Structure 1
Amino acid sequence: MQNLQLETKKLFASVSMGEEKPFDFFRILFEGVIAGGTAGVVVETALYPIDTIKTRLQGLYSGLAGNLAGVLPASALFVGVYEPTKQKLLQIFPENLSAAAHLTAGAIGGFAASLVRVPTEVVKQRLQTGQYASAPDAVRLIASKEGFKGLYAGYGSFLLRDLPFDAIQFCIYEQLRISYKAAARRDLNDPENAIIGAFAGAITGAITTPLDVIKTRLMVQGSANQYKGIFDCVQTIVREEGPPALLKGIGPRVMWIGIGGSIFFGVLERTKRMLAQRRPVHDQNSKED
C-alpha cells in the first residue's frame, strides 16, 4: 500500500501552497488581467503578419488594430479568471492532483474568454478571406445578414477546440514548470519559461488540429450554411476529402502555436514578476506561482 501511494504521488508534479495565507482575490485578478492583456497583445502583434499570410497573401498588418481590440480583453479576461481560479483550486485539491487544478482552471478561463474571442475570430477570419473591407463593416454586415448569432458562428466548435486547448496547454506548461523548478531548485529565467511555453504550445497545437479545422470551416461558411453543425462538418470533410483533411495545416499550426507559446508565456511570467516586485513587502511573501 505504501508503494502504491508513492507511485500515485509521482503521476503528476505536486505543488505546495505553503502555510495558509489570506486569499487576495482582487490582487490576483488585477495582476492576471494586466499580465494576460500584455502577453496577448505582444504575441498577437508579433505573429499577426504570419497569420495573415497563412490565410491570404496581402497587407501584413491589415485589420491588426481591430483584432487587438478583441485580443486584449480576451487575453486579460482569460488570465484574470485563470490565476485566481488556479490558486483557489490548488488550495482545495491534494498536492498530487495539481494537474487537475490546472486543467480545470484553464477550461474555466477559456470559457470566460470565449465570449470575446469568438466574435473577434469570426471578424478576423472574414477579413482575412476578403469577405469584408474593414472590421466595422464586417460587424455591421454580419449582424444585418445573419443576426447577432452570426458573430458567434461556430461557437460550439470554438469551445470544442479552445476549452481542451487552454486546459491542456496550461496544464502541460504549469506541470513542466513545477518539475523543472523542483529539479533546478530555483526560479526559472525568461528563456526557460519561453522554451517550456513553446513546447507546451506545440504539443497542444498538434493534438487539437482536427478541432481547429472544424472550427475554421464553420466560422468562414457565413450565411451559406454549408455545414449543419459540428458532426455534419466532420462527416462532410471525411466523406469528400478523406480523414487526412482533418490534419490539414498541422505543420504550420505546430510551428505557429509553438512560437506563440514561447512569446506569450515568456511575456506573461516577466509581467507577473514585475507586478509582484511592486507589491508591498508583506504581500510579496505570500506570492504563489
Structure 2
Amino acid sequence: MDRPGFMASLVAGGVAGVSVDLILFPLDTIKTRLQSPQGFNKAGGFRGIYAGVPSAAVGSFPNAAAFFITYEYVKWFLHTDSSSYLTPMKHMLAASAGEVVACLIRVPSEVVKQRAQVSASTRTFQIFSNILYEEGIQGLYRGYKSTVLREALWSWRQDLVVDSWQSAVCGAFAGGFAAAVTTPLDVAKTRIMLAKAGSSTANGNVLSALHGVWQSQGLAGLFAGVFPRMAAISLGGFIFLGAYDHTHRLLLEVGRKSP
C-alpha cells in the first residue's frame, strides 16, 4: 500500500472509531448492564451511563486505526482482479486479520470499560490498577478469544466504489443483523470479562460461559441486551463506515492536491 493510502486509512479509521464510541457510549453501557450477572438495576440502571468512557476514549482511535490499517494492507497483499470470484474471500480474510490485530488493543480497553460500567462509583484508573495488581497483564486480555470470535463473525465489509451515504446504509443494515445473531457471544464475552478472578467463568471458556447463562437464565439470558446492541451497532455501522469512507476520500483528495 502506498504511504498516502496507509496514512489515510490510519486517520480515517481512528476518527470513525472515536466518533462511534463516544456518541453511542450510553447504549453500550445499558447493554453491558443488561448482560451483567447481577442484573440491570444492581449494575447501575440508568445512572452514570458514561462510566468507563475514559477507557473507551483512550482505546478507540488506535483500535479502529489498527483494524483499518490491517484490513487495507491485507487486501493489498492479497491483490486480485476486481472481477475475480476470490474477491469476497480476500475481503473476509482481510477483515478477520484486522479484527485479530485490533482486538489486541480493544480487549484491554473493553475489560476496563465494562467493569467501570457496572461499578460506576469506581474510577477507571483504579479499575485498571486493580486488574494489573490482582491478575497481571493476563487479566486485561480476559475474553480475547470470545471477542475475536464475535467480531470475526460480523466484520466482513463490502468494498464497492459507492457514495459515503451508501456505505453507511450498508453498514447499518449489515451491522444490525449481525448484532442480533452474535448477541450470545457478546453475552459470553461480558460474563467472562466481569467474572470474579479465579472463578470458572474467568478462565475464558466461551462454551462454558454460554452454558452457564443458558442454565441460569435460558434463551432470554443469551439474548440479554439484544435491542440496545442492535441499535448501537446499526447506528455505529452508519456512523463508522460513513465517517471512514468520507474521511478517507477527503484525505486522499488532499494528498493528491498537495505538492
TM-score tier by shorter-chain length is: 0.7 to 0.9
**CA shift in 2, pair 1:49/1:251, >3 Å:** closer
Superposition pairs for residues 183-194 of structure 1, below 5 Å? Answer: 187-188=162-163, 190-194=164-168
Q: Which residue of 2 aligns with 1:269?
A: 245
> CA offset at residue 156 of structure 1?
1.6
Match among 123, 132, 135 for residue 143 of structure 1 = 132
CA contact (8 A) 1:43 1:263 kept: yes
Q: Which has the higher contact order (CA 8 A, sep 6+)?
A: 2
The farther-off stretch of 140-149 and 59-68 is 59-68
1:35 maps onto 2:12 in alignment: yes
Q: Which residue of 2 aligns with 1:113?
A: 102
Q: Which residue of 2 aligns with 1:204?
A: 178
Superposition pairs for residues 17-28 of structure 1, below 5 Å? Answer: 23-24=1-2, 26-28=3-5
**CA shift in 2, pair 1:60/1:129, >3 Å:** closer
**CA shift in 2, pair 1:117/1:125, >3 Å:** same
User: Residues of 2 paired with 1:200 and 1:83: CA distance?
Assistant: 20
Q: State the Cα RMSD in Å.
A: 2.3
Match among 101, 112, 121 for residue 123 of structure 1 = 112
TM-score by length of 1: 0.77
Gaps of 5+ in 2: 34-43
**CA shift in 2, pair 1:258/1:30, >3 Å:** same
> CA offset at residue 97 of structure 1?
2.0
Match of 2:91, as an amino acid? H
> CA offset at residue 226 of structure 1?
4.2
Structure number with bigger Rg: 1
CA contact (8 A) 1:122 1:219 kept: yes
Query: What percentage of residue pairs aligned between the two structures are identical?
Result: 34
Q: Which residue of 2 aligns with 1:153?
A: 142
User: Residues of 2 paired with 1:236 and 1:53: CA distance?
Assistant: 22
User: Residues of 2 paired with 1:50 and 1:83: CA distance?
Assistant: 29
- Tell me the alpha carbon deviations over residues 48-85 of structure 1, each in whole angstroms, 9 at most, x when there is no partner: 12223443422343332332111111011111111121
User: Residues of 2 paired with 1:243 and 1:63: CA distance?
Assistant: 28
CA contact (8 A) 2:9 2:65 kept: yes
User: Residues of 2 paired with 1:154 and 1:195: CA distance?
Assistant: 30
1:218 maps onto 2:192 in alignment: yes
Partner SS for 1:222: coil
Q: Which residue of 2 aligns with 1:48?
A: 25
1:249 maps onto 2:225 in alignment: yes
CA contact (8 A) 1:157 1:215 kept: yes
User: Residues of 2 paired with 1:60 and 1:237: CA distance?
Assistant: 24
* Paired residues, number: 245
Q: Which residue of 2 aligns with 1:89?
A: 78
**CA shift in 2, pair 1:234/1:59, >3 Å:** closer
- Tell me the alpha carbon deviations over residues 100-139 of structure 1, each in whole angstroms, 9 at most, x when there is no partner: 1111000000011111100000000000000762221111
**CA shift in 2, pair 1:159/1:132, >3 Å:** farther
Partner SS for 1:59: coil
**CA shift in 2, pair 1:90/1:202, >3 Å:** farther
Match of 1:155, as an amino acid? Y
CA contact (8 A) 1:29 1:81 kept: no
